[in-house]
C-alpha cells in the first residue's frame, strides 16, 4: 500500500537550526521527525527542502543595523520578518536532522540562496517572481497532489502549500507532521489562508490509512 507517481510528500526544512536548541528553534520541532519517517515509507515520491542562506542574508536581523530578530521591516519586495541567523549554507545548523529517514527522496530543493531575497516557499521566492523550479519538476514527473510536512506550519509549510495550489496542484498540509512558530497570530492566519485556497488539513493517521494500492 503506497502513494504512487501522482502524489508527492514534500518534507520542508527538517533542519537542525529549526529544532529545539537550534538558532531558530520551532517549539517541539523535533516531534515531526518520527511522524515524517512513517509517512515517507508510504510515498514512492519524496522531495525534501532545505533553507539554505548565504552569510549576511537579507532575512537575518544581524544584516540590518539596529534591527532585532522577529521585527518586520520593508525590503524592496515587501514586508520581511527578520530572523536570527539560521541555516547558513554548509553549516551544521543547515543540515537535515540526523534522525530523518527518507533515503529514497529524489530531490533536495535548497531555497533562500539569493542573498537579497528570502524564500519561505519551496516553489517561489519571496519576491513572488523567482521560481525554484519545483513546479516544473513535479509536472514533468506527473505529480498532481502534494502533501506538505515539516517546519514551520505557519511559514515555510503554509507558503509552500499555497504556492502548490497556485501552481495547479492539489495540496494538503499534514497537521501533526508540522510544528509552528506562531508569531503574533501567524498560525491561525495561515490555517485561514490555507482553507481559503483549498488546501486540505489532514492528519498523518488518515493519510496513512488512506494509502492507495499501488
Binding residues vs Zn ion (CB under 5 A): 51, 112
Contacts of 59 (CB under 8 A, 6+ apart): 53, 80, 81, 82, 83, 112, 118
Q: Give the nearest distance from C-beta 59 to Zn ion in angstroms.
A: 5
CA angle 41, 95, 110 (to 5 degrees): 80
φ, ψ of residue 189 in degrees (nearest 5): -60, -40
In the residue annotation, 111 being an active-site residue is answered as yes
Q: Of 7, 13, 17, 51, which one is the catalytic site residue?
A: 13
- Which of residues 24 and 172 has its CB atom nearest to Zn ion in the complex? 24
**Is the CB of 32 or the CB of 42 nearer to Zn ion?**
32
Distance between CA atoms of residues 67 and 186, nearest Å: 21
Cα–Cα dist 109/76, whole Å: 24
Give me the least distance between CB of 105 and Zn ion, in Å please.
Answer: 20
Rounded-to-integer distance, Cα 135 and Cα 143, Å: 9
| Per-residue b or e along 143-166, where b marks 16 or more CB atoms closer than 10 Å to that residue's CB | beebbbbbbbbbbbbbbbbbbbbe
What's the min distance (Å) between Cβ of 4 and Zn ion? 32
Q: Which of 7, 87, 111, 154 is catalytic?
A: 111
The catalytic residue among 154, 156, 163, 178 is 156
Q: Which three cell numbers stand for residue 187?
A: 498560525
In terms of CB distance, is 108 or 205 closer to Zn ion? 108
Nearer to Zn ion, 43 or 83 (CB): 83
CB of 188 to Zn ion, least distance (A): 22
Q: Which residue has its beta carbon closest to Zn ion? A: 51
Is residue 156 annotated as a catalytic residue, yes or no?
Answer: yes
Residue 127 appears among annotated catalytic residues: no
Closer to Zn ion by Cβ: residue 172 or 178: 178
- Per the DSSP assignment, residues forming a β-bridge with 162 are none
As measured in angstroms, the least distance from the Cβ of 183 to Zn ion is: 14
Bridge partners (DSSP) listed for residue 8? 146
Catalytic residues: 13, 111, 156
Amino acid at each position: 500500500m503506497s502513494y504512487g507517481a501522482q502524489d508527492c510528500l514534500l518534507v520542508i526544512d527538517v533542519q537542525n537550526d529549526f529544532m529545539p536548541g537550534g538558532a531558530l528553534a520551532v517549539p517541539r520541532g523535533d516531534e515531526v521527525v518520527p511522524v515524517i519517517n512513517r509517512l515517507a515509507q508510504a510515498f514512492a515520491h519524496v522531495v525534501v527542502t532545505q533553507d539554505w542562506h548565504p552569510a549576511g542574508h537579507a532575512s537575518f536581523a544581524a544584516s540590518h543595523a539596529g534591527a532585532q530578530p522577529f521585527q518586520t521591516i520593508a525590503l524592496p519586495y515587501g514586508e520581511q520578518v527578520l530572523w536570527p541567523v539560521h541555516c547558513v549554507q554548509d553549516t551544521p545548523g543547515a543540515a537535515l536532522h540526523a534522525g530523518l529517514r527518507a533515503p529514497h527522496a529524489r530531490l533536495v530543493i535548497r531555497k533562500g540562496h539569493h542573498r537579497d531575497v528570502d524564500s519561505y516557499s519551496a516553489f517561489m521566492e519571496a519576491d513572488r517572481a523567482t521560481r525554484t523550479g519545483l513546479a516544473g519538476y513535479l509536472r514533468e514527473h506527473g505529480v498532481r497532489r502534494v502533501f506538505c510536512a515539516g517546519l514551520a506550519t505557519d511559514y515555510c509549510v503554509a507558503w509552500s502549500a499555497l504556492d502548490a495550489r497556485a501552481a495547479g496542484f492539489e495540496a494538503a498540509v499534514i497537521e501533526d507532521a508540522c510544528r509552528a512558530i506562531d508569531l503574533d497570530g501567524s498560525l491561525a492566519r495561515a490555517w485561514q489562508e490555507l482553507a481559503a485556497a483549498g488546501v486540505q488539513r489532514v492528519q498523518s493517521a488518515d493519510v496513512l490509512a488512506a494509502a492507495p494500492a499501488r
